[in-house]
């Protein structure tokens, strides 16, 4: 007897239903992270929202004041002890960890010749080593549970091609993530754990504060769809990757950029 159900035997509602599952979203207090939290929670998941900014995390959770399926924790993804603690918090609160979403990241505009190694190291610590530390902690828990799981990493189109000048250190970190998830996918597949990433283009979030209007206008001008994306548009794809709609996907990067990478060169 086959161990896989016939596709037509599962309804669309069942495929996206996360009831009874527990998700941990790091970097989940605002912007793309909060967009992901909203969609996972809507799909029925118990959701732990983590952020390095405790006040922002608590403020985000207040949005779901009538729900007992959401919880906030504080942690720095680049600290392996914090990574373990965030996973433990999810398990202590809801009994398991089934879905892990790494959205935490930092960036800044800095011309290559002016970028200090200190800035580059911190970017790599958060954007690349943070993915590794948190994914290791999450995967160990999923393996111990013995029921598989989903790991979703929010990367960037900078892992494919430069979209703005002055982001070499950021692009390097995202190229590293693109390579890392492939090895993670290979090694974790035997445990029933899928590893995929979503690569956003320009998304309208509070994190765009360092960019002035001229830079944003120039970016939008080369997006074929004529606008920047919204956090919820990444949240929808993260939900897809976390659900059984993506049951036969691993090691894949889904680009969500309004067609920006079709234009190639950085603005």
**Residues taking part in catalysis:** 170
Measured distance CA(203)–CA(29) in Å, rounded:
16
144: left (phi over 0), alpha (psi -120 to 50) or beta: alpha
Quick one: which of 208, 200, 202, 198 has its CA closest to 221? 202
114: left (phi over 0), alpha (psi -120 to 50) or beta: alpha
Beta strands in 117-241 (DSSP E): 149-154, 193-200
Measured distance CA(199)–CA(254) in Å, rounded:
6
Beta strands in the chain (DSSP E): 22-26, 46-51, 70-74, 99-102, 149-154, 193-200, 253-256
87-102 residues labelled b (16+ CB within 10 A) or e (exposed): bebbbeebebbbbbbb
Pairing of the two strands 46-51 and 22-26: parallel
Q: Which residues contact 19 (CB under 8 A, 6 or more apart)?
A: 43, 44, 45
Whether 129 contacts 78, CB under 8 Å:
yes
Complete edge-to-edge strand list for the sheet that includes strand 22-26:
70-74, 46-51, 22-26, 99-102, 149-154, 193-200, 253-256
């Amino acid at each position: 007897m086959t161990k896989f159900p016939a596709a037509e035997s599962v309804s669309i509602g069942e495929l996206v239903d996360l009831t009874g599952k527990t998700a941990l979203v790091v970097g989940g207090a605002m912007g793309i992270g909060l967009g992901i939290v909203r969609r996972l929670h809507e799909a029925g998941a118990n959701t732990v929202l983590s952020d390095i900014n405790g006040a922002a995390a608590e403020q985000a959770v207040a949005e779901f004041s009538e729900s007992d399926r959401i919880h906030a924790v504080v942690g720095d993804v680049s600290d392996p002890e914090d990574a373990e603690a965030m996973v433990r918090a999810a398990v202590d609160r809801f009994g398991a960890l089934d879905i892990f979403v790494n959205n935490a990241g930092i960036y800044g505009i800095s011309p290559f010749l002016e970028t200090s190694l200190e800035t580059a190291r911190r970017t790599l610590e958060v954007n690349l080593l943070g993915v590794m530390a948190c994914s290791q902690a999450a995967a160990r828990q999923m393996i111990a549970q013995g029921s598989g799981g989903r790991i979703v990493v929010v990367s960037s189109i900078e892992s494919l091609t430069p979209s703005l000048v002055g982001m070499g250190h950021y692009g390097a970190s995202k190229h590293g993530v693109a390579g890392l998830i492939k090895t993670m996918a290979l090694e974790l597949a035997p445990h029933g754990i899928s590893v995929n990433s979503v690569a956003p283009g320009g998304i309208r979030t509070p994190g765009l504060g360092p960019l002035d209007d001229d830079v944003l206008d120039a970016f939008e001008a080369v997006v074929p769809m004529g606008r920047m994306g919204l956090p919820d548009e990444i949240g929808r794809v993260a939900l897809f990757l976390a659900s059984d709609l993506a049951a036969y996907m691993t090691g894949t990067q889904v680009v969500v950029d309004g067609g920006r990478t079709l234009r190639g060169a950085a603005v």
